[in-house]
Structures are given as structure tokens and as C-alpha cells.
Structure 1
Amino acid sequence: MESWFSELQTERLRISFKLRETLYRTRTQFQDLAVVDTYEFGRMLVLDEMVMFSEFDEFAYHEMIVHVPMLLHPNPTRVLVVGGGDGGSVREILRHPSVERVVLCEIDEEVVKVAREYFPRLSAGLDDPKVEVMCRDAIEYMKDPGEIFDVAIIDSTDPVGPSLGLFTLSFYRDVHRCLGLDGIVTAQSESLYTRPDHIRGMCLKYKELFDHVAVYCSNIPTYPTGYWSFTMGSKTMDPRTDWSEERAKQLEPDLRYYNRDLHRAAFALPTFFREWIDV
């Protein structure tokens, strides 16, 4: 890489980061992988020329993709993470004392290895005895995981390459089947401004399977437009009203982004988008 790294966020929009250095780069079985050190945002993991996270703002992503669904479930004990080989989602899941088991299903073993070496604070939870890390294709795994989960976190890359199949109705059906009676799934679902059609498509698929569907957002500067969405499906609980404020209060002192006020506000969507997705 040169002294600047640029991510093409749409065909007509790119964001650039001035680099201190490229720490590591390889071509894995599935994707191009790089770890870069930037002046503005610290270290970044880059997959196929797309920023996965930075040290500067990863907490805004991981805290929101995890705590919003975890606080909705009345007693989450068994949690699945699809993707997320960096360990950030696992770190946040382990903050919940009810959790007994976490399964991380990451297709690319190299992501896990790189996270352990270059992002130790992010990946430390991967060594927790409650956590099982398996490096395999989640699409195949979800056809018969052999257990039931309370919450599923789809912490995938963008819907291209090896992650494309994680955004299909057939995959969501498999996830739904492997969730318990109060089961909940949350997936990262791109920017409201650059991918509204994609988010609407996810909502329509979720509506075929779940009684409650909702979109909520977080501000993540290194992601396209900085305004990022998550799409949630819940079998029984209403994401906007049925979450536990008491458990949230207990978590807040250890968190950097999430709080109860932000939880409520995250479901407040811009009018143009709310009308478009109709959830």
C-alpha cells in the first residue's frame, strides 16, 4: 500500500486514510487481508480493500451490534456469532453474566490469527473458556449446528465475496430454526444513505420469519457515510420496548458508546428511510 489508503465506498465516493505503515498483508484463501496503522484512526483491519474496523471507533460498532439484542432477550445464555473473527463482538457478549456459551463461526482462520497478534485488546475474549472458535463456513454450519441459541449476531463483512450468502432468505431461515422460543438475530446492514435498497430487502426477508423486525443505527466514522444500520429480527420481544433497562444500567459504567438514552434513540429513523422500509 502507498502512504494513503483509499476505500471505494460507492462508485462515486471514496474515503482516504493517511498511513503510518502497513503492518501486515496477505492473500488468504478467501480475501485480501491487511493491517494498517493510520495517523487519524490507529490500526485498522482491511479486507478486500474495505475497512472492517479501526481502533478509534470499533466500540461504536461492537457495543451496538451486541448489547441492543442481548438486552432484549430475557436471559441470553447461548450466543452465536457469525463472522466477527476479530473478537470484538465476543468481548461485548462476555460482559453479560448470564452467558454460558459463545460459538464464533468465522470462515477465514487468518482473520482470527491476525486479530490475536495485532489487536490483542479486541480479541482477548476468544480465549475465554465459555467461547468456542470454529473456522468454517457458517452457511454450512447453520444447516445443522446441533444446538439452539438465544441470540445470533451476524457480524459479517459487506454483502460481497464470502459473505454474500449470509444475506439470503435461505440462510435467515436456518438461523431462525436454530434460535430458541424468544430467539433474536441482529446483523450489520450497511448505510442508510448508500444502501437503502439492501436494508429494505433484509427487512422484507426478516418479516417472512420473525414477528418483530426493527432497524437501528450507530455512528461509526470509518464506515461509509458514518451512519450505520443494524437489522434485528425477534420471535417474541418488541425491540423498541421490551429490553431490560436494569441490565443496561449495570453495563453502562464499562462501556464507551452504548447507554440507555442511546438505546432508545437508535431506533428513531429519518423520515425518508422509515417510510421506505416500512417497519
Structure 2
Amino acid sequence: MLWFTEYYSGEGMELQGTGLTFKVTEAFSFRTPFQEVLVLNTVDFGKMLVLDGAVQTTERDEFIYHEMIVHPAFFTMNSSPEKVLIIGGGDGGTVREALKHGVKQIDMVEIDREVVEVAKKEFPSIANKLEDERVNLIFDDGREFVKGKENEYDAIIVDCSDPIGPSKVLYEEEFYRDCLKALKENGVFVTQSESPFAQRKVHKQVVNELRKVFEVVRPYLAFIPTYPSGMWSFTFASNSLDPLGVNPGALGEAYGKFVKENGKLKYYNPEIHYGAFAIPNFVYEEE
């Protein structure tokens, strides 16, 4: 029997003597031009994708991350987004959830083709919509791709890894300004924004940089067992829409219609929609 431990370390990580260990029955790894890829079959969480030593997704808890990076923003919009840009998201889960809203076109920009290929083969329940005819897979640098785009997307979702190496530029004000230009007038932006407990300084940096660019910036939380500390965040941004301004009756009606068409979600619901935006005091207290 094998054991795998993700040790929490690296730039932005405030936990330096902690890790999470999994019992493993099978494993294989390979290196791409960008990173080391490890696929594990774990006893408790099913198959797991690990990039450069950091857990990215597991079959057991992936639904939490993927539902929460998509649905709070999309249920905030006055109508279903027609054209969506996803930067990162190589496992395919964000695409899967976005398509449930009747999106007509998704441009998914992922830098590492081999991650997408391994996801299709090893994680079909997550990646099963990557070959949908509405999805354009673009293997490129997401930072460079968004430059020069204007008034093109109803929503932009940044499903990126930690701010190390190529992903670091996806946490900066200049990138957020380019995303704003690429959005339509009532567009929405969402990014994963790290753990407010384990990576509080990085989380605060994301929120502060977004506030320099967007009128409405709302960080929100979800519990993801296999991510550092379990406390994970996302941040919504827009110049015209506010997830806390959504009428409860309208949200309940929209969610009911969604469930009839797609089935019940496993994590997100109208109560979670509002409650997720309640942030503990310690997160923004000055040290």
C-alpha cells in the first residue's frame, strides 16, 4: 500500500509544517513541458489529479469546487450567459457546470494539453463535456490570450492553479483590467482565490487587486476537504451586478427551473448563494 502526502509549502502558503495524507492503491506520473502530473487512485477520494505536488481535484469532492466557481455568478446574471471564457480548468469540471446554463459557446484556454488529455482518459465524470460542440479548446497562455479582447464575453472564469510560475500573472491588476475590457457591459468575472486560512495574504491580494478594477467585488467561501485547511475561496467581480443583490424570489424561481432541466446540484442552492458570502472576521483583520 502506498501513501501520498501533499505538504503545504511554497510561495504564499502560510502553513509550513502541515500536510494531508492519502492512502493510495495505484499511481502513475509523467512530466509535461510545464509541470509534473500525478494520477492516484485513493482509498477515500477515488481518483486524484496532482500537479507539481498539489492536489487539483478528486472524484469525491470535485463537485464542490466546480459548482461554486460557476453557479453563484451565473445565477446572479439577469439571463444565461451566451459566450464564456474559462482560463485554466484543464480537468473539465468548470466547463461541465457552465454548460448546464445553456451557454452557446465556451472558449477554454489551457496552457497544458497533456493535462486535458489525461483528464479525458482518467476522469471521464469530470471531463465528459470537453468534447461538446459548444466548447473551443485553445491550448495557449491564458494571460496572453485575453490581451486585446474587447466586449466579447458575458462571463470570464479563472480556474487556475496557485500563484507560482506561469499562473502568477493571473493574480495581478493588469490581468484583471484586460479581463474587464474583454467582458460585455453587464459581464461577470470569477476567480478561485486560495484559502483565506492557509494563504490569507494571497487571498487578500486577489481581493484588493480586483477592487482596483471592478465596482463590485465579493469574495465567498466553500468547504473543500482536500484543499489546504479545507476553507477555500472564490471571488466574484462585476461593474453592474451583485450576487447579494439578487432577489430571493427570483433566485428561487430560477433555481427551480434549473433543477427541472438539469437535476439537483450536490452543493449549491439558494441558501448557499447568500450564505457563502459571509466572511469570518479574521480574514481581513490587520495583523
Aligned AA (1:50): A
Listed one character per residue, the Cα deviations across residues 234-273 of structure 1 (whole Å, up to 9, x for unaligned) are: 1101121227512223334331111111111101111222
2:179 matches 1:172: no
Gaps of 5+ in 1: none
Whether the aligned pair in 1 keeps the contact of 2:95 and 2:106 (CA below 8 Å) is yes
Residue 260 of structure 1, aligned match among 240, 259, 270: 270
Q: Which residue of 2 aligns with 1:80?
A: 85
2:254 matches 1:247: yes
Listed one character per residue, the Cα deviations across residues 1-35 of structure 1 (whole Å, up to 9, x for unaligned) are: x811111123211111110110x311101000011
Q: Which moved more, 1:245-254 or 1:13-22?
A: 245-254
Aligned AA (2:275): A
2:99 matches 1:89: no
Q: Give distance in 1, aligned partners of 2:150 and 2:177.
A: 16
Change (3 A) 1:32 1:147: farther
Q: Give distance in 2, aligned partners of 1:79 and 1:132.
A: 10
> Displacement, 1:274?
4.8
Whether the aligned pair in 2 keeps the contact of 1:212 and 1:239 (CA below 8 Å) is no
Q: Which residue of 1 aligns with 2:35?
A: 31
Residue 217 of structure 2, aligned match among 206, 213, 219: 213
Q: Which moved more, 1:244-253 or 1:70-79?
A: 244-253
> Displacement, 1:132?
0.4
> Displacement, 1:119?
0.6
Q: Give distance in 1, aligned partners of 2:241 and 2:55.
A: 33
Residue 129 of structure 2, aligned match among 122, 125, 131: 125
Q: Which moved more, 1:112-121 or 1:139-148?
A: 139-148
> Displacement, 1:155?
0.4
Aligned AA (2:92): G
Q: Which residue of 2 aligns with 1:70?
A: 74
Q: How does 1:259-278 map to 2 (within 5 A)?
A: 259-275=269-285
Q: Give distance in 2, aligned partners of 1:240 and 1:14.
A: 35
Whether the aligned pair in 2 keeps the contact of 1:59 and 1:256 (CA below 8 Å) is yes
**If the length of structure 1 is used for normalisation, what is the TM-score?**
0.94
Name the SS for the 1:56 alignment partner.
Answer: coil
**If the length of structure 2 is used for normalisation, what is the TM-score?**
0.91
Q: Which residue of 1 aligns with 2:61?
A: 57
Runs of 4+ in 1 over 4 A off after TM superposition: none
Q: Give distance in 2, aligned partners of 1:43 and 1:267.
A: 30
Q: How does 1:159-198 map to 2 (within 5 A)?
A: 159-198=163-202
Q: Which residue of 1 aligns with 2:47?
A: 43
Gaps of 5+ in 2: 9-14
Q: Give distance in 2, aligned partners of 1:121 and 1:144.
A: 35
Whether the aligned pair in 1 keeps the contact of 2:150 and 2:183 (CA below 8 Å) is no
Q: Give distance in 2, aligned partners of 1:5 and 1:214.
A: 35
Change (3 A) 1:258 1:231: same
Whether the aligned pair in 2 keeps the contact of 1:191 and 1:227 (CA below 8 Å) is yes
Whether the aligned pair in 2 keeps the contact of 1:249 and 1:260 (CA below 8 Å) is no
Whether the aligned pair in 1 keeps the contact of 2:151 and 2:181 (CA below 8 Å) is no
Aligned length: 274
Name the SS for the 2:20 alignment partner.
Answer: strand
Q: Give distance in 2, aligned partners of 1:38 and 1:123.
A: 19
Name the SS for the 1:255 alignment partner.
Answer: coil
Q: Give distance in 2, aligned partners of 1:84 and 1:150.
A: 18
Aligned AA (1:84): G
Whether the aligned pair in 2 keeps the contact of 1:151 and 1:183 (CA below 8 Å) is yes
CA RMSD after TM alignment: 1.6
Q: Give distance in 2, aligned partners of 1:159 and 1:271.
A: 24
Whether the aligned pair in 1 keeps the contact of 2:150 and 2:181 (CA below 8 Å) is no
